[in-house]
Amino acid sequence: MANPDDNPLGTYLKDRRARLDPADLGFPATRRRTPGLRREEVAQRANVSATWYTWLEQGRGGAPSADVLDRLSRALALNPAEREHLFLLAQHRPPEVRYQSFEPITPQLQRVLDSMEYSPAIVRTPLWDVVAWNEAAAAVMTDYAALPPEERNVLKQVFGNPTVRAHMVNWKRDARAAVAAFRTEATRASAPQAIQELVDELCLLSPEFEAMWRDYAVQNFGEGKKHFRHETAGDFMLEYSSFTVDGRPDLGLVIFNPATAADAERIRMLIESRRAAVR
């Protein structure tokens, strides 16, 4: 008897097609010896050869391309987690990030942001469009709610907003690191047209961005420290860490924690001042 562990990709494909209801997908459900779709039906839905698909399930179809894996994912109605598992089995790597502009986050994730009272936190796309934030981020960084959606972009604020720039004590160093990290994340997003449009806009907005972009530096955003200076709260230090949102690899969560209790107190002052201003 064949060991399923010898052909995990084929075993997974067979299991997924067996779970589908042919009637739901427009195929006759009568006279079937086994549940689910037939191999030729999966091949038809994925626009691949039935012979090649049979070989793939049998472990002799070769390494499928990303395009074919995407078509198989749709043919088998895989959810995002199942699609990622298919790529890991077939190519030993996750699929490329799919860029989605201005996609809303879940209410649960927003509650996570809101629970961090004195830690500014944002959620951003690979093109660094900010799609969610908490009150601390609005007080310390930018009041994103007051901006049109197309202006809620980290790089547009860093290079085009004098107030944001004035609050960054080490602006040149931090801006250069941001451009390098942006290049890394944007390239992973596989959205060349959207990237080029944003880069062209930023180059017109700021000669400094254009010069930094032409350095071709790359780095991961990772974690580190940022030194801020506010007119009312003075200087304070924030430690930041970045994470990928589980189930949404196109979204990044960045959390800025106050480095000391005194830094937390300064953030509290900024939040209280903002609340008083909007009353």
**pLDDT, averaged across the chain:** 91
Is residue 9 within 8 A of residue 59, CB to CB? The reply is yes
Share of the chain above pLDDT 90, in %: 74
- Give the SS3 label for residue 100: coil
What's the CA gap between 107 and 255, in Å, rounded? 18
What's the CA gap between 61 and 39, in Å, rounded? 14
Answer whether residue 9 shows pLDDT above 50. Answer: yes
Centre a 10 Å sphere on the Cβ of residue 242 and count the other Cβ atoms it contains.
16
Mean pLDDT of 225-232: 94
What's the CA gap between 28 and 24, in Å, rounded? 9
The class of domain 107-278 in CATH terms is alpha beta
pLDDT at 161: 97
Q: Where in the chain is the domain with CATH 3.30.450.180?
A: 107-278
CATH architecture entry for 4-91: Orthogonal Bundle (1.10)
pTM of the model: 0.77
Identify each DSSP E strand in the chain by its residue range.
121-124, 130-133, 223-230, 234-245, 248-258
Tens of pLDDT, residue by residue over 248-270, are: 888 999 999 999 999 999 999 99
pLDDT-based confidence at residue 3 (cuts at 50, 70, 90): low
The encoded tokens of residue 234 equal 């003075």
Max Cα distance, the chain (Å) = 76
Tens of pLDDT, residue by residue over 88-126, are: 999 988 887 766 666 678 999 999 999 999 999 999 998
Q: Where in the chain is the domain with CATH 1.10.260.40?
A: 4-91
Answer whether residue 1 shows pLDDT above 50. Answer: no
